[in-house]
Amino acid sequence: MLTFHRQWRDSWRSKLLRDEMLFGYAALIPYLAGFLIFVAGPLAYSLWLSFTQYNILQPPVPVGLDNYKALIEDPLMWKSLENTAVYSLVSVPLQVILGYALALMLNQQVKGLSAWRTVYYVPAVVPIVASAYLFSYLFNADTGLVNLLLKMVRISGPNWFGSPDWALRTFIIMNLWVSGGGMIVYLAALQGVPTALYDAAKIDGANAWQRLWAVTVPMTSPALLFMFMIGIIGSFQVFTSVFIITSGGPVNATLMYVLYLYRHGWSYLQMGYASALAWVLFAIIFGLTYLSLRVSGRLVHYEV
């Protein structure tokens, strides 16, 4: 009798578990369907397209590895990759450092703290199109506010977006405008640092600088790593501001990788080649992210 009861109970439990599991899976179906239709499907299709010649209007023609071979020999692909790499590797660390510095300042008990936090965060929610136009006016060589201010201190400002030597640098400077976007994440991390650690450091005689390097930075390093990786991924896909302000010019000085990809896809109607460019970008970002995670093992402190 006891055995029967146990069997019945186990059977009932397993039925309950099975129903619960099925319900869980059923609840997942909308997401899975969406993922398959709108993400995985197009991803797989674009991978296939990267091995074809496809002008959108006619059926794709398989060409094997031709697109990838052509890509290696394409000087503009390398130019766009160089521009993008310089942009990412300079602007992202600068953005992280500036955002972190802002967060450190705004983590203090200063008057009007909420207002300051809002002010620094606002650029992150301004539409890129609006900020692109704003900066194209600010950095105008003839009438821009930046050059007018420089003129007041007797400095002749450059032709920011109009000069091949300055255009990429100007985009890097412009990108610092959104440094406050990461501030929220840093602030959250900073406020999670146990005060006991600071107290202990003070007792040990650490000054503010030493406390920053020995306590604050290690304890918030996961947030720093996260923002760095997100920044790299985002900056390798920079498009809108460049498309609006310079369209890749002058003389390809701001030709970014995704802009070049877009041109091949929609302007040149070489969707196969554009797909190959996209997969190479995926590999680059994947590689950089993997590398960041590997290196971070030694640099980032995770609390156990």
Partner 1 sequence: MEEKRTLSRRRFLQLSAVGAAGAALAACAMPAGDAATGGEMAEAPMDETVELRLSHWWGELITPSIPLIEEKHNVSITEESATWGEYFDKLLTQFAGGVAPDVMMTSILKVGPFYTAGLLQPLAPAMERNDIDPALWALDLDSLAFKGDIFGLPMFLNFPLGFAVNLDLIEAEGFDVPHEWPFWGTEAFDNFSYEKLTENFEACTKRSATGEIEIYGSAGTWGSVNQQSLFENGGDFFDSYEFDETECLLNSPEVVEAVAAYTDWVIKYEVAPDLGAAQAFKEGVWRAQKGVVQYSWLCYNCFQSPEATGFNWRMFHLPQLPSFKARRNLIMADMVTANPASDHADLAADIAITFTTDWDFTQKLYLTWLNLPAYNSGAHLSLVEDDPHIVEAMKVYLSRYKAFSEDMSSTEGFALAPGTRGRHAGFVDNTVKTEIEAVLVGDKTAQQAMDDAKALIDAQLAKS
Please give the structure tokens belonging to residue 169: 């640098």
Please list, in sequence order, all residues whose beta carbon lies within 8 angstroms of the beta carbon of residue 203, skipping any fewer than 6 positions away: none
The answer to whether the beta carbons of residues 280 and 293 sit under 8 Å apart is no
Handedness of CA 228, 234, 239, 245 (dihedral sign): negative
d(CA 246, CA 18): 58
Nearer to partner 1, 32 or 208 (CB): 32
Residue whose entry in the numeric block shows the structure tokens 């900073």? 190
Among 142, 195, 205, 298, binds partner 1 (CB under 8 A): 142
Among 16, 22, 97, 295, binds partner 1 (CB under 8 A): 22
Q: Compute the distance between CA of residue 116 and CA of residue 110 in angstroms, rounded to an integer.
A: 9
Element (H, E) at 134: helix 128-138
Query: Among residues 51, 120, 121, 160, which is the contact residue for partner 1, using CB under 8 A?
Result: 160
108 binds partner 1 (CB under 8 A): no
Structural tokens at position 239: 């498009």
**Rounded to the nearest whole angstrom, what is the least distance from the CB of residue 286 to partner 1 in the complex?**
23
For position 45 contacting partner 1 by CB under 8 A, the verdict is no
Segment lying near partner 1 (by CB under 8 A), choices 8-16, 111-119, 172-180, 195-203: 8-16
Between the alpha carbon of residue 176 and those of residues 43, 94, 139, 169, the distances in Å are: 32, 7, 14, 11
- Residues from 255 through 274 that contact partner 1 (CB under 8 A): 263, 266-269
Q: Least Å distance between CB 133 and partner 1?
A: 8
- Count of chain residues binding partner 1 (CB under 8 A): 44
Residue 8 as a binder of partner 1 (CB under 8 A): the answer is: no
Residue in the structure block whose two tokens are 């059977």: 11
Of 36-44, 98-106, 234-242, 294-302, the segment contacting partner 1 by CB under 8 A is: 36-44
Amino acid at 124: A
Under the binding rule (CB under 8 A), the answer on residue 161 touching partner 1 is yes
Residue 144 within binding range of partner 1, rule CB under 8 A: yes
Can you give the binding site for partner 1, defined by CB under 8 A? Answer: 11, 14-15, 18, 21-22, 25, 28-29, 32-33, 36-37, 41, 55-58, 136-137, 140-144, 159-164, 245-252, 263, 266-269
